[in-house]
Amino acid sequence: MDGLQSNCGSDKKKHSARSNNYIFSRVGKGAPNSIIDIKTVITLLNLRKKDPYYQKKLSRLVIPKSCSNDILGLIDCITEFQRIIQGAAKADGIVGPTGNTILHLGGVKRIGKQIIIDMDDQKLHAYDGIKKSYSFHCATGDKDHPTAIKPSLHHVFRKYEKYRSRTYNAQMNYAMFFTNDGKAIHQSNAVMATSFLKVVGIDSLGSHGCVRLSEYDAKLLFNWAPMNTPVFIDMA
C-alpha cells in the first residue's frame, strides 16, 4: 500500500471526458487491491455519497480517505454500500472490473457493450468496455410513469426496427425492450427539448416510462447494440 499518498486528488464527475470510471482488477475482500483501483473506487463512493439521490441513503457510510491504508475500512464500506443499494444478497465486499457493483457506483464494466441511462442528466451513454461509443440526449419517464424508482440493471431482450405501440398509438421505431412491462429505448420527436426541460425539473413532457432518443440517435444505437446488451438505469 506504500505510495497511496501520492495519488490523492479531486473528484471528477461521472461519464465526463476525463473521468476515471473503471478499474483494472478487483478491489475489496481477498482482492489484489492495486493503489490506482482503490483510488478509483473511493472516488466513485464519494461521488455517490454527495449525489442528492444517494445522500440520505449513504449518510452513515464511512469512506476511507484516498491517502489512507485502511483496506479493512474500505471492505466494510463496499459491503455496506452493496447492502444498502444493491440488497443484502449482493454484499460480498468486492468491486470487480466486470461485475455489477461498478455500475451501481457510477462506473463502467471493463469488458463488453453496455448502455447507461443517466436519469439526472437525461443522457444515454453507450460503452464498449471502457471506450465511450456514444453519448445522446434522452427523455425518460414523467413523474407518473417513471422509467425506474431505484438503480436497476436490465438487458435488451427484444428489438424491432419498425414498431408501433397499440397502447399509446405511437410510432416507436428502433425499439429495444429492456423490461417485461414494456419499457424500451426508441425513436421519438423533440427529444433534446424534452430532455432539457426534464433536467431543469419540468416533468410533464416525459415519456410513459420508455427512454426516448432522436430518430438519428436511436438508429445508431439500434445498430450498435446486440441482444442481451446490459442497460443500467442510474438515478444519479
Intra-chain end-to-end CA distance of the chain, in Å? 31
pTM for the full model? Answer: 0.90
| 96 and 102 Cβ atoms separated by less than 8 Å | yes
Average pLDDT over residues 99-106: 96
Q: 92 and 130 share a domain?
A: no
Q: 124 and 169 share a domain?
A: yes
Could you give the CA distance from residue 111 to residue 225 in angstroms, rounded to a whole number? 14
Pairing mode, if any, of strands 94-95 and 27-28? antiparallel
Q: 62 and 151 share a domain?
A: no
Cell for 77? 464500506
Q: 119 and 227 share a domain?
A: yes
Q: 51 and 134 share a domain?
A: no
Q: What is the CATH number of the domain that holds 183?
A: 2.40.440.10
Q: 79 and 120 share a domain?
A: no
In the predicted structure, residue 5 carries a pLDDT above the cut 80 = no
Domain housing 223: 113-234
User: What is the pLDDT, as a whole number, of residue 235?
Assistant: 92
Q: 162 and 225 share a domain?
A: yes
Q: 125 and 228 share a domain?
A: yes
Q: How confident is the model at residue 68 (pLDDT cuts 50, 70, 90)?
A: confident
Task: Report how many domains make up the chain.
Answer: 2
User: What is the pLDDT, as a whole number, of residue 151?
Assistant: 95
Chain mean position to CA 6 = 29
Q: Minimal CA–CA distance to 172: which of 181, 184, 180?
A: 184
The string of pLDDT tens digits covering residues 148-195 is 999 999 999 999 999 999 888 889 999 999 999 999 999 999 999 999
Q: 137 and 173 share a domain?
A: yes
Task: Say which residue, 234 or 6, is predicted with more confidence.
Answer: 234
| 154 and 179 Cβ atoms separated by less than 8 Å | yes
